[in-house]
Amino acid sequence: MTIVEIINVTKSFKDTEVIHNTSFYLKKGRIYGFVGPNGAGKTTMIKMILGILKPNSGKITIFNQPVEHNSDNILSRIGVVMGPSFYGHLDAYENLKLIANMKGLSFDIEKLNEYLSMLGLKDVKKKKVKNFSMGMKQRLSIAASLLGDPEILIWDEPINGLDPQGVIEIRRLVHFLHETKGITFFISSHILSELDKVITDVVIINYGKVEFFGSCNYLLQEYNSKNLEEAYLSCLAGWR
């Protein structure tokens, strides 16, 4: 079942076109990697999917609803990571409670403790966030995205600032949520070598254009490659 559709979307800022006539879709229960070089248009596309930015032309629907007309209903079913932003004088628990209250989301303490444990934050949940490292704040952002049992998780560069152990914990969390809840993931990154351990499908964007959209297996076949990173580089270079 298709739950997100991006149809012929173009976005410009003044005279600079950032996204050019782009189309792809997301199916329920798949794990998508959204990859491309820095400046390729990944964050701009995510902001349009979330209704933060409006496209100059084209259409975006989520759960068969136009984003611009139903943003509150749609966003309540989506968990988002777009860089950590918290109140430093509050602890991790207090920040998560505040976010849940602001969004009108349920706050299941038992479930949240399970996520915090998986993210390596259970022992510091009463620590002031101003004393968190960048990696800890990023983990807390991921925990916040899980509030309210979202159906889709949209994560923009979720492993930024994480040490190798943190990266492994996020990988395990993705597998756990996918296998136990069937959550759909849309994970943006420029590091395909890490994403290839979790994703089922890939969207490659470069200079605001989608260069490839399909399953990981199809990408490997299309570029006659043994690993996704090699196929990704061949795609960006226009090699076949």
pLDDT by residue (tens digit) across 96-131?
A: 888 888 888 777 788 888 888 888 888 887 889 999
- pLDDT reported for residue 69: 67
- pLDDT reported for residue 72: 74
Low-confidence ranges of the chain (pLDDT < 70): 69-70, 240
Could you give the dihedral angle defined by the CA atoms of residues 39, 41, 44 and 48, in that order, rounded to the nearest 10 degrees?
180
- pLDDT reported for residue 70: 63
216 SS3 class: helix
- pLDDT reported for residue 184: 97
- For residue 165, how many other CB atoms are within 10 A of its CB? 10
User: What domains appear along the chain, each with residue ranges and CATH number?
Assistant: 1-77+151-159+186-240 (3.40.50.300)
Amino acid at 101: N
- pLDDT reported for residue 193: 80
Q: 169 near 137, Cβ under 8 Å? A: no
- pLDDT reported for residue 183: 95
Q: 91 near 126, Cβ under 8 Å? A: yes
Question: Can you give 97-160 as a three-state secondary structure string?
Answer: HHHHHHHCCCCCHHHHHHHHHHCCCHHHCCCEHHHCCHHHHHHHHHHHHCCCCCCEEEEECCCC
- pLDDT reported for residue 240: 61
Edge-to-edge strands of the sheet including 2-13?
Answer: 16-27, 2-13, 57-62, 65-66
- pLDDT reported for residue 93: 86
pTM, two decimal places = 0.93
- pLDDT reported for residue 231: 93
pLDDT digits (tens, 9 = 90+) for 37-71: 988 999 999 999 999 999 999 999 999 988 876 67
- pLDDT reported for residue 15: 86
